[in-house]
Amino acid sequence: MDLGLKDKTVVVTGGSSGIGLATVRAALAEGAKVAFCARGADRLSKVVDELIREYGGERIMAQAFSVLDPAANAAFAAQVAERFGGCDALVTNAGQGRVSTYADTSDADWREELELKFFSQLYPIRAFEAQLRATASGSITAVNSLLAYQPEPHMVCTSAARAGVQSLLKSLAVELAPEIRVNSILLGLVDSQQWQRRFDAREDQSQSRGTWFAELADRKAIPLGRLGQAEEAAKALVFLASPAASYITGARLEVSGGVSRFI
Ligand code: NDP
């Protein structure tokens, strides 16, 4: 199936690692021009060098900044417009989860998490809204989590924030229609830097990566028996972001190996 992304511009936040990087690669493989950001300049520039070796430099641009900086989002959007002539698809992926219970989450932690989850959507969306409206196939595709519908007590503020973000996206799907489609993917557990960090900090340092991840999948009772790969999440994101999903808006797509328990 042709996704219709050739020569379109896809912007990915948090593109230097994990799901974001896999999305950058998947969009480049579809022939899109891709602009992406992340905070860490060193890792970003290594990734850019690698991608330029694979795809050439013409369709790639990257900028180091935090999506929580509204002025930096606006400046990035202006650069994308100048270099690629506008943005057709925005993938809001940047972020991370916070592991903490009600008892050990301070007010400052709550504020930080709510700010990350909401403004990592709002600032990039605001910065690219005019460009997305101006194209015939504007789309916003957000990375969200099953925690939005299936909260976990050990991730109390991330779960609450994710539910709020899902509500925000549903409202935006109405307010930004018909020019811009707004969809999300709901992740279960996907092998990425986030899980690599948790593996690196494992209690039993003698445990192999394979065993640790297999036990995790078992403990979480994932029907497909394993964690997802970043590329599997990226394929769903790129489809929803593309003109091939032209009649899909306000939708959520689970990429979780079947681990959700709600219908
Ligand atoms: P990774 O840690 O592998 O990648 C996160 C990416 O986001 C990196 O490029 C990171 O670069 C960037 N990033 C983080 N914060 C910011 C910021 N404030 N501004 C700009 N860039 C930022 O994690 P994943 O690929 O797993 O995570 C991708 C998204 O998926 C996240 O939003 C995460 O919460 C979500 N998710 C992941 C799940 C999983 O199982 N993997 C489950 C549920 C949700 P840098 O640090 O240099 O800024």
Q: Tell me the DSSP string of 193-221.
A: HHHHHHHHT-S-TTS-HHHHHHHHHHHTT
| The pLDDT of residue 192 | 87
For residue 94, the ligand 1 atom closest to its alpha carbon is 7
Atom 39 of ligand 1: nearest residue by CA position: 190
- Percent of the chain topping pLDDT 90: 95
Q: pLDDT, tens digit, for every residue of 102-135?
A: 999 999 999 999 999 999 999 999 999 999 999 9
194 pLDDT more than 90: no
130 domain residue, yes or no:
yes
Pocket lining: 214 vs ligand 1, CB cutoff 6 Å:
no
Encoding tokens for residue 86? 């506008």
Ligand 1 centroid vs 144 CA: distance in angstroms? Answer: 11
Asked if residue 64 and residue 92 are part of one domain, the reply reads yes
Asked if residue 89 and residue 149 are part of one domain, the reply reads yes
179 pLDDT more than 90: yes
* Amino acid identity, position 142: A
Pocket lining: 145 vs ligand 1, CB cutoff 6 Å:
yes
| The pLDDT of residue 23 | 98
1 domain residue, yes or no:
no
Phi, psi (rounded to 5 degrees) for 175:
-65, -35
Pocket lining: 172 vs ligand 1, CB cutoff 6 Å:
no
| The pLDDT of residue 95 | 97
| The pLDDT of residue 193 | 85
What would the mean pLDDT of 233-253 be, rounded to a whole number?
Answer: 98
| The pLDDT of residue 73 | 98
5 pLDDT more than 90: yes
Q: Residue 218 burial by CB count (10 A; 0-12/13-18/19+): exposed, middle or buried?
A: exposed
Q: Which of 12, 39, 46 to mutate to test the pocket of ligand 1 (most atoms within 8 A of CB)?
A: 39
| The pLDDT of residue 168 | 98
CB 118 within 8 A of CB 37: no
Tell which phi-psi region holds residue 258, choosing left (phi > 0), alpha (psi between -120 and 50) or beta: left
What H or E segment, with its residue span, contains residue 89? strand 89-92
3 domain residue, yes or no:
no
CB 13 within 8 A of CB 120: yes
| The pLDDT of residue 97 | 94
CB 38 within 8 A of CB 64: yes
Query: Domain total for the chain?
Result: 2
d(CA 230, CA 236): 10
CA angle 99, 116, 183 (to 5 degrees): 100
Q: pLDDT, tens digit, for every residue of 51-90?
A: 999 999 999 999 999 999 999 999 999 999 999 999 999 9
d(CA 225, CA 70): 40
Asked if residue 185 and residue 159 are part of one domain, the reply reads yes
Pocket lining: 68 vs ligand 1, CB cutoff 6 Å:
yes
Torsion over CA of 128, 115, 171 and 70, rounded to 10 degrees?
-20
Atom 44 of ligand 1: nearest residue by CA position: 145
Pocket lining: 40 vs ligand 1, CB cutoff 6 Å:
yes
For residue 96, the ligand 1 atom closest to its alpha carbon is 34
Give the mean pLDDT of the chain: 97
For residue 95, the ligand 1 atom closest to its alpha carbon is 32
Ligand 1 centroid vs 96 CA: distance in angstroms? Answer: 5
* Amino acid identity, position 187: L
4 domain residue, yes or no:
no
Its domain, for residue 47, covers: 9-189+229-254
d(CA 72, CA 172): 22
263 domain residue, yes or no:
no
| The pLDDT of residue 236 | 98
Atom 24 of ligand 1: nearest residue by CA position: 18
Asked if residue 217 and residue 241 are part of one domain, the reply reads no
| The pLDDT of residue 28 | 98
Asked if residue 95 and residue 37 are part of one domain, the reply reads yes
| The pLDDT of residue 180 | 98
Ligand 1 centroid vs 95 CA: distance in angstroms? Answer: 4
160 pLDDT more than 90: yes
In 3-state terms the chain splits into helix, strand, coil percentages (rounded to 5) of 50, 15, 35
Collapsed DSSP state (helix, strand, coil) of residue 64: strand
Ligand 1 centroid vs 94 CA: distance in angstroms? Answer: 5
